[in-house]
Amino acid sequence: MSISLTVNGSPHQIDADPSTPLLYVLRDDLALNGAKYGCGLGQCGSCTVVVDGEAVLSCMVPVMLLEGREITTIEGLGTIDDPGPLQQAFIELQAAQCGYCIPGMMMSAHALLRRNAQPSDEDIREALATNLCRCGTHMRILAAIRRAGELMKAASLPESDERRAG
């Protein structure tokens, strides 16, 4: 069955079973690496993407519910040559160890920063409570998200973190 999805501003026609969770469509049909398969059960947060401004676990949401909605993945925040504020901040503060959970963390942070560009550590901890990580960069992740807020504020364009492809 053909489904229309809008991902990072670009329209796509997908041929998939409508019950397929978004994650598999992003990774296998659209060849996007950002959203990660961690547990496949909505427990680890590494598949987090943003849908209409809200952080969503893409391994749990069937694509049929997403027609006509704005899906943003980490690829929509900037590129390796022109990183967006969140990406810039995570690179600047070296806020990754293995990095597998990080895109999910960043998308939760993206949803948070869209509504609050100056979050407290408490706000960040709450927004990222569903994102698990086993290694040692938690304090850097907090610092990077605060830094991204500063970068966005300096640019006075909170929405500038989201790029429109194509």
Partner 1 sequence: MGILKDEITRRSVIAGAGGLVVSFSLSRAFAQAPAPPAPPTTPPAPPASLPGSLDDDRFLDSWIRINPDNSITVFTGKAELGQGIRTALLQVAAEELEVNPTEIEFITADTGRTPNEGFTAGSQSMQNSGTAIRNAAAQVRALLLAEAAKRFGIAPTELRAENKSVLAKDGRSATYGELVSGQTLHVEAQPQSAFKQPGSFRVMGKPLPRVDIPAKVTGQPAYVHDLRLDGMLHARVVRPPSPAAELTEFDQSAADGMPGVVSVVRDGNFLAVVAEKEFQAVNAMRTLAEAARWQERETLPDQTDLPAELQRLEREVGTVAEAGVISSSGKVFEATYTRPYQIHGSIGPSCAVAQMKADGTLDV
CB of 98 to partner 1, least distance (A): 3
- The residue within the footprint of partner 1, chosen from 51, 75, 142, 152 (CB under 8 A), is 75
Distance CA 67, CA 7 (A): 10
Asked if 1 and 155 count as a contact pair (C-beta separation under 8 A), the reply is no
Answer whether 97's CB lies under 8 Å from 136's CB.
Answer: yes
Output the DSSP codes for 51-95.
ETTEEEETTTSBGGG-TTSEEE-GGGG--SSS--HHHHHHHHTT-
CB 164: neighbour CB atoms within 10 A?
9
Shortest distance, CB of residue 125 to partner 1, whole angstroms?
A: 18
130 contacts partner 1 (rule: CB under 8 A): no
Angle at 98 between CA 116 and CA 22, to 5 degrees: 60
The interface region with partner 1, picked from 73-81, 111-119, 122-130, 149-157 by CB under 8 A, is: 73-81
> Binding partner 1 by CB under 8 A: which of 20, 58, 72, 108?
20
Which region among 49-57, 69-77, 111-119, 152-160 touches partner 1 (by CB under 8 A)?
A: 69-77
Q: DSSP secondary-structure letter at 159?
A: G
21 interacts with partner 1 by CB under 8 A: yes
If one asks whether residue 66 binds partner 1 (CB under 8 A), the answer comes out as no
- Asked if 147 touches partner 1 (CB under 8 A), the answer is no
Residues that bind partner 1 (CB under 8 A): 16-17, 20-21, 24, 27-28, 31-34, 36-40, 44, 46, 73-75, 77-80, 83, 86-87, 90-91, 94, 96-103, 106, 132-135
